[in-house]
Every structure is written in C-alpha cells, then in structure tokens.
Amino acid sequence: MKFKLAAVIALAVVASIVVAVRTTGPSLADDGRYSAQIRRTEYGLPHVSAKDYGGLGFGYGYAFAQDDLCVLASWVVTLRGERSRYFGPQAQSDDPVRSVANLVSDVYYKSVADSGVVRRLLAQPPPLGPGDELRRLVDGYAAGYNRYLEETGAANLPDPTCRGKAWVGPITATDIWNNLLDLDRMVGSSQFKEHIVGEAGAEGPQRRPAAGSNAWALGRRATRDGHGMLLADPHFPWNGIRRFYQVQLTIPGVLDVSGASLYGTPVVQIGHNAAVAWTHTVSHAQRVSLYQLELAAGDRTGYLVDGRVEPMGRQEVQVALQDGTVADRTLYTSRYGPVLAAGHSNKVAYALADVNAANLRAADEWLAMARARDLTELRAAQNAHQGMPFVHTLATDAGGTAYFADTSMVPHVTDAQAKRCAKPSPLPGLEAYVLDGSTSACLWGRDRDAVVPGIFGPAAQPRLTRADYVANSNNTAWMTNPSAPLTGYPRVWGQARTELEPRPRVSLDMIAQRLSGTDGLGDPGFTLETLQATAQAKRNHTFELMRRDLLRLCRTGPGLTASGGERVDVREACGTLRKWDGRATLDGQGAVLWREFFDRLGPTRPGDPVFSPWRVPFDPAHPLTTPRGLKSGDPVVRQALADAVQYFRTNRIPLTLTPGQAQRYQSIPIPGCTEGEGCFDRVRMSGPLGAEGRYPEVDTGSSFMMAVELTPEGPRTRTVLTYSLSANPRSPHHTDQTTLFSRGRWVTERFTPSEIASDPHLSTTTVHG
C-alpha cells in the first residue's frame, strides 16, 4: 500500500466569539454556543465550569492558552511534521522525553498522520473510539484555544517565546487527538523514531524514559482519623509538552474534578473529586515487541508468515524544509507495525509492535475515573475502557480503602511463548522481547475480557486492595505492600523477587517509620500534615545505607590515591560528610559532595553488570534491607572518594557546597537529590557539576505534588506545581509556585464554591463562543 502525504494542512476557521468579564455567576448561553466561566484563585489556578462538556472544553482551552499557548503551538508544529520548515532539519525537536533531529521527527509524525490511525479510531464507537462527552471536550478545547488566539492576535501574545511567529496559528481537534495518541505512545513507538525513520547512526531507545513518579494510597488503618489519603508525586519533565497544568473542571451535578493534566489534554490525569482520589506512576512493564521477519528469497520487501509471502507496506513521506526544498523518505510497514532500519539485511528485518499504536482509550478512562463515586466505580471505569497506556494506578476513596493496579497496556506474551518464540535482538540493551515473526503462533495472545486483541484483560492484571496502604515508586508490582507481595505474573509485567532500587526502598521505609511513629513526626499514623512532611523529608537513602562504612574508610588514613596517581587528603571532606544529616535540603552541606563521590562509584541500578559498591549483596528473602553497606576497603571506592575531592579542590569548589547553591531552575534554588542516590522527591539535571560549582538547570523531577485527605466533610488537599502554572517568562505565575517548592511550602486547594468565592484574589471571566 502506498500513501502520499499532502503538503498543505487545512486549518479550521474560528467563528466570531465575544468575551465578557464578570464578577458574578456564570452566564451560560442557551443557543448552542460554547459558554464557560473561568475563576482564578491564588497562583492563577483556574476553576472552569460550564453546563456541558463542549463548554467545559472551551473554557479549559481558553484558560490554558492564556498561560501556555506557546508550548502547545510549538508541539502542534511537531505533530504536523513541520519543524524542518520553520526551525531547520538539523535542529533538535521539542520532545522533552526523547528529542531527535527535526527531520527525523517530521518524517515520523507525518507517517503517523498519513497512516490514518486517528481517523479510523474516531470512526469507531466506544470503547475503541472516543465517547461523545470526550469528543465534545476535545472540540471545545481546540475552539477555546483558538478563541484566545483570535482575541489576542499572534503579534500581541504576552509570551515573547512565540509572539509574532509564523508557526503560530489556529489548531484543530485533530491536533488534540494526535497529541492524545502520542501521549499513549510515549514509551513505545515514540522512543524508536530514529529506527523507524532509518536515521544513520541512531542509538538504541532509552532504557527508561525520563518520566517517573512516587505514589501512596493510604487506607483507614494507616491514617490517624481513618480517612482515605493519597500522595501524588509524578516526576515528569519540567519543560515542554509533558508539563502538568493544574485545573478544576466542573459541570454542576455531572462532574467536579480537581488536579492536573498534561499540556494539550482536556482531561485530568491525576486528581480527585469529592469521594475518590487517584494518581499514577510509570510502570516498566513492556510496551513493545520486536518481530524478526524472515525475508523472501531475493526480496527485501517481502516476508514469510506461515510459509506465505506477505509484501511490506510502502509509505512515501515528504517533508518541507526551511530552504524551500523537500526531503523524501520511504518507510516500510508490516502486519506487526513499522519495519525498522536496524538489522535489516537480505535475510531478516525487524518490525515494531506497539501495544499502544492504536490506543485513544486513555482519555475516556480518565474522564470516567473523574466521575467515580467510590473505588468500585473507578475499577469499573478501568475495566470498561482498558486504556491506561503505561502507568500504574493508585487510588483511595472516602471509605478508607487503598487500591493498586497495573491496568496498563502490556503485550500478551506468556513466559512459555517468550521462550518458544525468542530471537536475537538487533538493538543492544533493548528491554523488550524479540519474537519470531515467521509464524502466527508467535502473535500476541488474547484474553476474553480484553477489549482488543493482543493485551492482557483485567482478570490477568496485577491488583491489590488494602485497608493499610499501597505504594509504588516505579518498581514492579512485587513490593506494592511488603505484607502482601504480588507474584505469579508473566515476566512481561516485570520480574518479582529482584532488587529494589534505592528510591522505592526509601519510600517503603518512610511509610514504615510513619506507621510506627519512629520518624520524629509524632504519634503513629498519617495526618495530612505528616503526609506532607514525610513526602518532603529529602532523605538520601544511599548515604543512610553506606554512612557507617564511609566513616570507617575515613578513619583508615588522611590520604587516598586518585585515578591519576595523585595523593589526595580527604580529611576535610570526611569531616563534612560526618556532620551532614543525610538530607538534601537547600542548606545540606555534604549533599553535593556525597553525590559526586557516589556517582563515581559507577552504576548501582539492579542488573548492571559492573562493579557494585554494596558490602552486603541483595537477598530476595530480605528485599527491604539489602543491599546495604559500602565496600570501604575496595580500591574502586577509595579512588572514587579521592577523585571527587580532587575535583572540588582543583576547581576551588567548597566541599560544603549545598543543593541550594548547585541546583537551580529559573534562578531559584532547588532542593533534592537524584534517582540513583535514593531520593524520594528526586531531581535531575541534564549534565554534570560544572567547574563553577553549578549543575545545568533542573529539567525533571517532582512536578505536581498533591496530598489529599478524603473526609466526610469533603476533601482537604495541599498541592504544589513545582515549575509553576505558566511557561511564559513574563507571567506572574511563571515561578511563583517554584519559590514555594524551594521553601518546602504547599498551596491549600480551594475545591468547593464557598472556598473559591472566599479567595480575596478571585478573578472571574465568562467566555462565549
């Protein structure tokens, strides 16, 4: 089959719309027009209400455009495959998870658009296609964005990032659907752009995406007052389209949900209503499989399945370049998915099967979860839609029940099938099965309760319901609650009885200490206040586990040998580490020194076939207390400390350098430590410590933190959007919450109409369209 991509994209023309500013209740049109009210409280947080889903989407799109139009405008250029035209083919794309050259990005996204996958899904009834409510939300969202752009004018936008730029223009509902599909593919096909396009010298996909998360759902036995409580702490990029936008969406008597949604999506992904609260963590179950294709003799574009030749599909893609010329690319497809350039020879080729390749169901699922009145209804929503693309779900309700499930889309590959069908991988380090594509016996299986073939149905998914707690920090389901290990699932979900990374371990230890009252925060059990304090304790778990042996190393003598052969006096450094309390606070003297030493020990993640600094190795019978200790006498460890101290001294960096001095975002000091060190609310920088004593700007970490207590009187909620509401550097809400996060403070959420109305900073805008 041959597809030809159109060079011109028709843009929707927005009808004439009027805007009025009110200080009273919503003015709802009764003539079929869009109508919504936007109330803004402290920190610019929008509370959008309307009488129907179309109006709600309209108000949300308008409010979002006020704050973050430039980010979505740039991403729409990406989704349309037009970055080479406006920014040049060699510049990097704006994908915050895996950036590639613009030409690679354009070829990939044009191929997705031209495949017709979104068009086919929109033609399907629910649950395969979107429901009517979601369709109206999406249509309204695009219209609201366009209304704001038309009213303001591209030349007069408040954000200088895109003011007057030729690439800024109206968007369509199709753009939003494409964004929803791309979100679902974020850890699947989107990680393989170079291989799909055939970019020479492309590296393999990242072993893990930048996104991560922590989540706790606390039941009645874990909380002081017996209420359900939830902690949401997603770790998503701090820049670009995968930022969270905080919002409350209300249709009186129908929907009332507060939380956060990723840019360009009209539904709340992490949030709560009056009776249920939920969050997500990235699940590292497999999302893709590679199929090895046995090519027909003398034909590189034909492959055998059950002895018969099937021709590859052929797709011609054209990309307009900045100089007015056009780049042509030819892509190939198979029954399994796109054919990769890697490993393609005269005998074999490899095709990528993505379990989320045609998944638009997630947004409907989030919308249904937002309407759930208890965990029973939330589970029913997940069972009906089966659209969670790559995340675990942790939730609680007003009855005080805690719930965990990995309902994410996972290829239906049993352990026996994986063994029987296994083929060698063309991509080193690939964490996915490579299966035999020459026989239909190796196709993904199907469960009777699955809405589409190729995935596991609800009955096969890891789930756990408790009265105490469930927790996850991107570990497998095994240690969701150590009192009830989850085992017996196919390895495609992730392995049980394997080493926990330091962050999941410190998470479970934080809960255990709070339940026993040994963390210094008072009587056992969680309150909303102790939940907040526990989440922001800034504990560095590797230091806690290695401190005693490190100090033993320090007592062996003042001098250690660096990798260059120089003798380095480490006494001052040892004194700094001895005094440090092991918390990565803004003023934590020793926190950065520890990181620089720890990083020089080499990778310590489970499964890494390299030197391990742990004195006591992992024991699956003791997963919460092993590995531990430091091989203080090992030459690798001694050299690592010498090298770290030498780097500080050579560059005249104080050994007492603190996170507040070394870590910044928009010039604001940021506390915290990194994933590998075992920090709960981790931060990540894009590069190493510089000679001036600064890391590059923080680009990933805790993003939308939410602590919720579901009481009989209604939800009590504290939040902080770490990078703030607006990406516009001229906005008063560009860094206001970042300052709060830096200081360990939270925002008290206003959820009820009376709470919102009592805000002295309240502003109200009513929009019609």
Whether the CA torsion 446, 452, 458, 462 is positive or negative: it is positive
- Give the separation between CA 550 and CA 751, rounded to whole angstroms: 49
Strand order in the sheet with 391-397: 19-21, 763-768, 35-40, 46-49, 244-251, 255-262, 270-272, 276-282, 391-397, 402-405, 463-466
The vertex-202 CA angle with 198 and 203, nearest 5°, equals: 140
What's the gap between Cα 113 and its chain centre? Answer: 24
- CA-closest candidate to residue 290, choices 201, 423, 414: 423
Q: Can you give the three-state secondary structure of 525-583, one letter per residue? A: CECHHHHHHHHCCCEEHHHHHHHHHHHHHHCCCCEEECCCCCEEECHHHHHHHHHCCCE
Output the DSSP codes for 705-725. EEEEEEETTEEEEEEEETT-S
- Give the separation between CA 747 and CA 156, rounded to whole angstroms: 32
**Which one from 213, 283, 507, 742 is the annotated catalytic residue?**
213
Is 507 an active-site residue? no
Q: To the nearest 5 percent, what fractions of the chain are helix, strand and coil?
A: 30, 25, 45
Q: Reduced to 3 states, what is the DSSP secondary structure of residue 659? A: helix
Q: Are 2 and 315 in contact (CB under 8 A)?
A: yes
CA distances from 383 to 133, 362, 452, 453, 471 (A): 19, 12, 12, 15, 21
**Residue 590 CA neighbour count, 13 Å, CB half:** 18
Q: Are 215 and 116 in contact (CB under 8 A)?
A: no
Pairing of strands 326-333, 339-340: unpaired
- Exposed, middle or buried: residue 488 (CB in 10 Å: 0-12, 13-18, 19+)? exposed
As annotated, the active-site residues are 213
